[in-house]
Structure 1
Amino acid sequence: MTDRLSGRVAIVTGGSSGIGRAIAARFAREGARVIVADTTEEVREGGVPTEALLRAQGLECRFRRCDVSREEECEAVVAEAVARHGRIDVLVNNAAIASGTPLLDCTREEWERVLAVNLTGTFLMSRAAVRAMVLQDPRGEVRGRLVNLASQHGMVAAPEALAYGTSKAGIAYLTRQVAADYAGQGIVCNAVAPGKILTGKTGRAVEPRWLDYSRARTPWPRLGRPEDVAGAALFLASDDASFLTGEVLMVDGGWMAA
């Protein structure tokens, strides 16, 4: 590791499992003090909880229970990070839930829950973090960085997943808007848009028809791994990403290029 985030304070939502877990681990190994904000410590794909895993390696990581759809819980995580560390350098908005229904099968309850977590959660965490970031001293030119998790399925149709695709499209827009509004105050806001990433979770995501569909759409000769997204998130969270804001970085094996 290269200590690209040495001394930085990073909050990673949804960091207990999958892509969020990989991002939290990569950030900690690059020197960041990581706060994992999630509704549970349980690792969806199995294994030791993220905090325990990283602490056993001598890395700094703390778990804080947080439902990002709840405003007061978002505010509390950010306030605790500032109280403990004096600042927040990076927020990764990764927390999300999936859905697998087209328009006529999507209930209002499903629609509202998916948007509450995926899109409203990104809004609430971003607002809380940026409120703190604009008041802190900059590191170089930057007071704080936001890295949002969008998706290729926010750019093109998400087959039979209306609410999910809509939420990810909203995140891409939110990324551009926050970047434009707060660049003058030293806030950098970008997004990573993963393609098909195999995280180890079960269910609809690994049904043969969806794996076949994803392989057919992906020019690269394999599907993605959580570490692929973690590397992109690290770049956007680091000083290597300079004069770069409001962008959505595709990490999709060429899905959107084909």
Structure 2
Amino acid sequence: MSAVLDGKPLADRVAVVTGASSGIGQATAERLAALGADVALLARRADRLEATAERITQRGGKALAMPTDVTDRDALARAAAAVHERFGKVDLVFANAGVQLISPIGDLAVDDWDRQIDLNVKGVMYTIEAFVRDLESAAAEGKPADLIITSSIAATRVLEKFQVYSGTKAYLSQLTRLLRTELGRKKVRVSAVEPGMVDTELPDHVTDADASRLMADLIKEIDVLQSDDIAETVAFIAAVPKHVNLSEITILPTEQII
């Protein structure tokens, strides 16, 4: 556990975490709750969400499991209403849900292209739609307000066969910069987290042999990041004084050079 924070610096915060059923999202939901936030967990896998919410509750935190497909705008609207009813206004959004599907462009894996665009881009946009008014309102009341988006080092690296995935992540990094031109003026902090190789289930979705080998070799050869490392970074972004916006953080394993 790479904890650098202690106490309850996120007390009285209400957080929404998407992609909260595993990996970075699950670890971040648990960490935010441990630091005092009330946390709504959104993802499609209800059983995983319920198990995470139960762990949070057993440790004295507050959690709401909301099975939600973030590519479904109506489902997100229903989730937002449920969060409001349980916890009130949201002031911390971690838009983390995403998928990585790697293939040569000539394979014409159009369904995979669509899935990545729908989840990695549209899912984030729909999450913003559901909660941006809350963030603006919280900031107007003088409270901290954070929109934190999971991008990737792939947004800036040139990796063969990663064109669609990397394109979606480049969109998110640029989106974060552009959103600050509007939301920053309203005292809403906007941040992009760009991890390198993290030992999560995300690479399990990769069917291309070369990409799978690249990731497997990294995990085998170097001390890669863990989900807890990203969770602590997200928590730190939200815990710094509200006039401080850590707008773009690249997190790499020390030994990762590609």
Q: Same fold (TM over 0.5)?
A: yes
State how far apart, in whole Å, the 2-side matches of 1:253 and 1:190 are: 20
State how far apart, in whole Å, the 1-side matches of 2:136 and 2:241 are: 21
Q: Counterpart of 1:30 in structure 2: which amino acid?
A: L
Q: Counterpart of 1:178 in structure 2: which amino acid?
A: L
Are the equivalent residues in 1 in contact too, given 2:7–2:35 (CA < 8 A)? yes
State how far apart, in whole Å, the 1-side matches of 2:216 and 2:230 are: 19
- CA 1:56–1:141 in 2, change beyond 3 Å: closer, same or farther? closer
State how far apart, in whole Å, the 2-side matches of 1:40 and 1:26 are: 20
- CA 1:42–1:80 in 2, change beyond 3 Å: closer, same or farther? closer
- CA 1:124–1:155 in 2, change beyond 3 Å: closer, same or farther? same
- CA 1:255–1:75 in 2, change beyond 3 Å: closer, same or farther? farther
Are the equivalent residues in 1 in contact too, given 2:139–2:187 (CA < 8 A)? no
Q: In the alignment, which residue of structure 2 is the partner of 1:5?
A: 10
User: Does 2:182 correspond to 1:181?
Assistant: yes
In the TM superposition, what whole-angstrom CA distance separates every residue of 1:165-186 from its partner, at most 9, and x where no partner exists?
1111111011111111111212
Q: Secondary structure at the match of 1:192?
A: strand
User: Does 2:21 correspond to 1:20?
Assistant: no
Are the equivalent residues in 2 in contact too, given 1:119–1:170 (CA < 8 A)? yes
1:163 CA drift (Å): 2.0
Could you list the runs of 4 or more consecutive aligned residues of structure 1 that deviate by over 4 angstroms after TM superposition? 204-208, 213-216, 254-258
Are the equivalent residues in 1 in contact too, given 2:21–2:52 (CA < 8 A)? yes
Q: How does 1:1-258 map to 2 (within 5 A)?
A: 1-43=6-48, 49-136=51-138, 138=140, 140=142, 142=144, 144-199=145-200, 203=204, 207-213=212-218, 222-240=223-241, 242-244=243-245, 247-254=247-254
- What TM-score do the two structures reach when normalised by structure 1? 0.86
State how far apart, in whole Å, the 2-side matches of 1:209 and 1:175 are: 28
In the TM superposition, what whole-angstrom CA distance separates every residue of 1:80-111 from its partner, at most 9, and x where no partner exists?
22233221110001111120212112422211
State how far apart, in whole Å, the 2-side matches of 1:9 and 1:170 are: 27
- CA 1:66–1:257 in 2, change beyond 3 Å: closer, same or farther? same
Q: Secondary structure at the match of 2:10?
A: coil
Please, which runs of 5 or more residues in structure 1 have no aligned partner? Answer: none
Are the equivalent residues in 1 in contact too, given 2:42–2:67 (CA < 8 A)? yes
Please, which runs of 5 or more residues in structure 2 have no aligned partner? Answer: 1-5
Q: Counterpart of 1:227 in structure 2: which amino acid?
A: D
- CA 1:240–1:251 in 2, change beyond 3 Å: closer, same or farther? farther
1:228 CA drift (Å): 0.6
State how far apart, in whole Å, the 2-side matches of 1:244 and 1:84 are: 28
- CA 1:43–1:161 in 2, change beyond 3 Å: closer, same or farther? farther
In the TM superposition, what whole-angstrom CA distance separates every residue of 1:31-81 from its partner, at most 9, and x where no partner exists?
00000000113449xxx8211121122211111011111111122222322
Query: Comparing 223-232 with 200-209, which one deviates more in the overlay?
Result: 200-209
Q: Counterpart of 1:184 in structure 2: which amino acid?
A: R
Q: Secondary structure at the match of 2:137?
A: coil
- CA 1:132–1:176 in 2, change beyond 3 Å: closer, same or farther? same
Q: Counterpart of 2:7 in structure 1: which amino acid?
A: T
